[in-house]
Chains A and B, each alone.
Chain A
Amino acid sequence: MTARRRLLRAAALLGFLGLWQALTAWKVQAWVRFDHLPTVLEVADALKVQLGTAVYWQDLADSLRRISTGFALAALLGVTAGVLTARSRTAADLIGPVLELVRPIPAIALVPVAIMLFPENEQGIVFITCAAAFFPVTVATRHAVRAVPPRWEEAVRTMGGGTGRVLFGVVLPGALPGVVGGLSVGLGVSWICVISAEMVSGQYGVGYRTWSAYTVLDYPGVFVGMATIGLLGWATSGAVELLGRRLTRWLPAPAPAGVRA
């Protein structure tokens, strides 16, 4: 990234924080009211205090563990389901209708199901996180697999390649760019759902801590939680994007800015 773009990005972030600080410090009231919201400096102070506590890091680790378990499971199951439904008519007939029926249900609405299904809260939260990411990954994989040009597979089959070679040597790498898109979307939904599930049924975790700060009217604490969620989400989706770009380096490079008409 060029120095100019880095500078622009930093300026945009600082501008956002500055605007927030101005609106809250001056307690602006113009239909929307900023007088109850904590200022950036108050939130920063609260964050500084929390960074020194073990509970903060414990919460962070809990949330990260839940999302990485749930998301990894969703990636595995979603890619499998997507490939199966795209490649096999029987599989599409067998699991397609159930998938389409369950897909519109928001994962967070599965909280009662999770509570009834699993002996522990922990597993329920992972289940919800997994369910959230599963569908975007499945749908993206299914489309990506169908879009793989047939001649790549024909080439490998005429070299004597069997089903396994076609699957792992052609279908999966060929569908990877689309799968990465699904993983990216899935991770976003996963964060929404892990935080929501923690708020509803968690013990520990960033979502739980954010909600309990609200219930004791600790508004800077609420914002510390939100900022933490934002940073974690940004970092993890950045990691997925980076990994995706590493794995799909063979794609044609996008036209550099300024060349396009």
Chain B
Amino acid sequence: MSLRLTARGLSVGHPGQPVLRGVELDVAPGEVLTVLGPSGCGKSTLLRALAGLLRPTGGELLADGRPLTGPGADRALVFQEDGLLPWRTVRRNVELPLAIAGLKRAERRAPVADWLGRVGLDDHGERLPRELSGGQRQRVQLARALAGAPRAVLMDEPFGALDPQTRAAMQQLLLAVWQKERCTVVFVTHDVDEALLLGDRVAVLSGGTLAALHEVPAPRDPSADRSALRALLLAQYT
């Protein structure tokens, strides 16, 4: 059920001044691709293009081999912060993709309760986003993104605004969720360790082009030694 996402010679931005130039990427179904790069390298632009929110100015974007025509429920987007609708309670945020899909109120209740439980927020359903901590809000975003059963999840530095401890907990939560769902994940970060911890492959973006693409040895195996790739990434990244 997971989605294959393909970029062929993808350029995005103003024709004279593209943010992304000639990006070639093929994200296999069920793969976790982490995208690494400094601010302004075009990471967020790549993600928005994959989400269908930005139209390519050159090349093409494919989902399962078919051209992407716009945003859709098959590709969920998770933002760094403030992605929740502040006037909706936690529960009503999480049920949003289900409501949009046309599920009746009674049909939404069970999956929403399930997702709130899986992200550890069972008793926070009636709170407003502003009453939660930053980490809790990202848990809600994760639950909301996955409640709609998307085939791919696009994450834009989702843990970038969190303190190191919360961040580590969220990474473990994401891995636990992904182990069950096995949806395709494109995860943008500027943290080399995070990219190595989560990804099957790491793409390095630099100045709007794809600078390198690395396979992660023994992906998500906590005992694996990735120091060689880490050193290489740190060198390429800076």
Contacts and interface: CB of A to CB of B under 8 A. Distances in A.
A155 B79 contact: yes
A106 interface: no
B131 to A, nearest CB: 10
A154 B77 contact: yes
Contacts of A151: 79, 82-83
B79 A157 contact: no
Interface in B71-98: 71-73, 75-77, 79, 82-88, 96-97
Nearest to A152: B85
A149 interface: yes
Interface residues of A, number: 22
B79 A159 contact: no
A250 B75 contact: no
Interface string B37-67: 0000000000010011100000000000000
A161 B100 CA distance: 6
B228 interface: no
Given A149-B82, A170-B85, A250-B128, A160 B148 contact: yes
Contacts of A115: none
Residue of A154, A155, A174 ringed by the most chain B CB atoms within 10 A: A155
Chain B interface residue count: which class? 20 to 34
A173 B88 CA distance: 10
A88 B57 CA distance: 23
A173 B51 CA distance: 24
A169 B99 CA distance: 11
Contacts of A90: none
A251 B130 CA distance: 8
B73 A160 contact: yes
A158 B79 contact: no
A160 B130 contact: no
Interface in B149-196: 154
B11 to A, nearest CB: 21
A48 interface: no
B106 interface: no
B101 interface: yes
A259 B85 CA distance: 28
Given A152-B85, A158-B77, A252 B148 contact: no
B87 A250 contact: yes
A165 interface: yes
B99 to A, nearest CB: 9
A184 B179 CA distance: 52
A25 interface: no
Interface string A18-29: 000000000000
B69 to A, nearest CB: 13
Interface in B118-158: 128-130, 148, 154
A192 interface: no
Residue picked from A156, A158, A165, most chain B C-beta under 10 Å: A158
Interface of B: 48, 51-53, 70-73, 75-77, 79, 82-88, 96-97, 100-101, 128-130, 148, 154
Interface of A: 149, 151-152, 154-161, 165, 169-170, 173-174, 176, 248-252
